[in-house]
Structure 1
Amino acid sequence: MHFAYPPRKSSNPPPFLPRSSRISTLRRNRLKLVAIAGLSIIFLLWLFSGNKTKASPKRVITGTPPVVIVTAFEEKAVGSEFIRNAKSNRREYANMHGYKTHLVSSGDYDLNGSPLSWAKVPAMRHAMAKYPNARFFWYLDQNSLIMNPSLKVEDYVMGARKLETSMIKDLPVVPPDSIIKTFSHLKGDDVSFVLTQDKEGLSAGSFIIRNGDWAEFFLDTWFDPLYRSYNFQKAETHALEHIVQWHPTILSKLAIVPQRLINAYSKSSQGEQYKEEDIVVRFPGCVTGSPSECEEEAKRFLPQWQKAFGLS
């Protein structure tokens, strides 16, 4: 009778490790893990602190001058006498308060075939480069006159308390039924862009921007070639309505104020009519007519503003 032989053991059995050797190996492995973890922590600390690139110092705007008044003139759209009076009007007001003016021609800027009304945007950007320490920039269309020299922009319009009482909150950006509305929780110190509405929508003929990185971003966005290529019916005004409604970053800095605060009209057919003591009067329709139309419209206000400025 034959019995099966037991299986033959391997001729190369694994080496026997004494108990103490196995414990030493485990300890060495644990020490390696601890060392690796420690080095990783040190590297992360070095990466986020010791090797961190120093942030550039925060830009400090001194407020010198406090305000720059910007206007881009279309010489062919209005008479030369009107332009002379409009420039004198802005310079007199600026001199009274230590402001500066940036009065340029719309033709100074390459608009790549876009309507000349777009020139207001690069004109503002140009003024910001020329006066980097100015606190505020007030764009005022050519068809406007400053009527009340006693009112200062930084107090009458842009003061934080004044803004909080004058800004219209939870207002449809484009009347009457836009679902996008001005922020209800916005504080005066958060506002960097102030403008008004008239009976047709946003009015880009008089607006104020607070100097800073956001202002540069906003103007660059507004002047993007893509928006200029859309051929909006009202050019830069409709482009502005578009970006305000679709870019929360811009809406979050916007305050819409009552029209007469910075943008009263000479006639009530398009918006709130000018009243004595208002800071400015605008003639919004005159640039679409003959070059003499703005001169005729402004004549009745000429003695009033010159008297207010002590020029007559």
Structure 2
Amino acid sequence: MQTFQLLPRKSVLLGITLVAFFVVLFRLYGDVPVEYYRNLSPDEGALPDVQVQNDKPQPGYFKAQPEWDWKVPPRARGWEGYAKSPRNRDVVVLTASDGGGHNSAIPNVLQRVLGDRKNYCDKHGYTNLWLNTSRYDIGAAHRTWSKIPAVAEAFYLYPEAEWVWLIDTDIIIMTPEYDLVEQILSPNAIKRGLMRGTPILDGQLKKNPTNISTPDEFRVEDIDILITQDHQSVNTGSTFFRRTAFTRYLLEIMTDYKMLMGSEHPGAEQDALKHLMLEHPLVRKHVGIYPQRKFNAYVQGGDNMGYRDGDLLVHFAGCWVGGKCQEWFEQFWEKKGHTDKWRPEGSQ
């Protein structure tokens, strides 16, 4: 007691103040979600806004433009690959569309989904990007090929972005709480989620199966493209691309005008990717296939294909065949974000 009384009053007050400060500080850190520390480092925030020339056509063929020459960091240039969970800010959600095509049957579809995706990205810290595909000179190829130069431009515009999620206009994000990194993009998610030894389908060969499957074993470090397949084959309506040398290589060979892009392929870029996967073990090594509903559920179908409560999204692929695009879109638009029991497992 005497020792305490001998201490200067100012020193005692200073000590009490410091103790109180650290108590408040640690209490504050304890209240901050752990995801904050996983995805952000000091002085890091959202990726900076970029100038997008959506109203200005490129001056020539897309492969001659600087946007096609996007860069790859040293760790992603070699064949050994790498495994790393991206920060949320390094995930670009790309809508590559001019609002036309079959989707135009849905009133204001482009404006509606862009607003909805902005809200989703703002919620998680992803980067939302729209690129007008009418800007790209792709020769006489089918218009859907213009999604490929859009992927390249997304990497060019955001040089720190690690993953680009190419998502078609006719898709509604149904579960806004869904975490892309935790559920799809992290090494752990890829390791536990990819389909092993799964036949790669070709709808043109119904009576003659390809007899080619995804690898029984794979290295997470090698996976650079994430995709799903339906009852026909791979579907590129919802595809993840990682910034690596292999992805650059794949985009280059997919758009070989003489062999693939300019040829008669009913499925355009989907057929090109399917062809490369079937013909080249190297491509199969780097393209991972998730179960379809992971990020490409359809309106119709059984539990393997059709949307069920809690799925990330619903894709209106083929809705134009029966003239159902607007009807289906409005039905699901009213239910986005729902938490009630609507389409449970086992429903038709």
Identify the TM-score tier after normalising by the shorter chain: 0.7 to 0.9
Instruction: Say if 2:170 and 2:317, in contact at 8 Å, map to a contact too.
Output: yes
Q: Work out whether 1:294 is the aligned partner of 2:321.
A: no
Letter aligned with residue 70 of structure 1: L
Aligned position for 1:141: 168
Letter aligned with residue 310 of structure 2: E
Letter aligned with residue 182 of structure 1: T
In structure 2, relative to structure 1, the CA distance for the partners of 1:87 and 1:288 (3 Å cut) is farther
Q: CA deviation at 1:253?
A: 0.8
Q: CA deviation at 1:286?
A: 2.9
Aligned position for 2:100: 76
Letter aligned with residue 116 of structure 1: R
Q: Work out whether 1:207 is the aligned partner of 2:239.
A: yes
Aligned position for 1:109: 136
Aligned position for 1:246: 279
- Please state whether the residue corresponding to 1:300 is helix, strand or coil: helix
Aligned position for 1:5: none
Provide TM-score, normalisation by structure 2: 0.66
Cα distance in structure 2, aligned partners of 1:136 and 1:284: 23
Instruction: Say if 2:97 and 2:147, in contact at 8 Å, map to a contact too.
Output: no
Of 177, 182, 188, the residue aligned with 1:150 is 177
Deviations 1:40-81 (CA, angstroms, capped at 9, x unpaired): xxxxxxxxxxxxxxxx98258985722101122242321451
Q: CA deviation at 1:220?
A: 1.6
The count of residues paired between Structure 1 and Structure 2 equals 251
Q: CA deviation at 1:150?
A: 1.3
Bigger Rg, structure 1 or 2: 1
Of 91, 100, 123, the residue aligned with 1:96 is 123
Deviations 1:252-281 (CA, angstroms, capped at 9, x unpaired): 111111000000001128971001110010
- Please state whether the residue corresponding to 2:334 is helix, strand or coil: helix
Q: Work out whether 1:236 is the aligned partner of 2:258.
A: no
Letter aligned with residue 172 of structure 2: L
Cα distance in structure 2, aligned partners of 1:296 and 1:115: 27
Instruction: Say if 2:176 and 2:337, in contact at 8 Å, map to a contact too.
Output: no
Q: CA deviation at 1:225?
A: 1.1
Q: Work out whether 1:65 is the aligned partner of 2:89.
A: yes
Cα distance in structure 1, aligned partners of 2:313 and 2:298: 8
Aligned position for 1:164: 191
- Please state whether the residue corresponding to 1:200 is helix, strand or coil: coil
Provide TM-score, normalisation by structure 1: 0.73
Q: CA deviation at 1:295?
A: 3.1
Q: CA deviation at 1:189?
A: 3.1
Identity of aligned residues (%): 25
Aligned position for 1:18: none
Instruction: Say if 1:143 and 1:286, in contact at 8 Å, map to a contact too.
Output: no
Correspondence list, 1:120-135, <5 A: 120-135=147-162
Compare 76-85 and 105-114 and name the one that shifted more: 76-85
In structure 2, relative to structure 1, the CA distance for the partners of 1:129 and 1:191 (3 Å cut) is same
Instruction: Say if 1:65 and 1:135, in contact at 8 Å, map to a contact too.
Output: no
Aligned position for 2:252: 220
Instruction: Say if 2:316 and 2:325, in contact at 8 Å, map to a contact too.
Output: yes
Question: Structure 1: which 5+ residue stretches go unaligned?
Answer: 1-55
Q: CA deviation at 1:133?
A: 1.0
Compare 197-206 and 209-218 and name the one that shifted more: 209-218
Instruction: Say if 1:74 and 1:116, in contact at 8 Å, map to a contact too.
Output: no
Question: Structure 2: which 5+ residue stretches go unaligned?
Answer: 1-71, 77-83, 340-348
**RMSD value, Cα:** 2.5
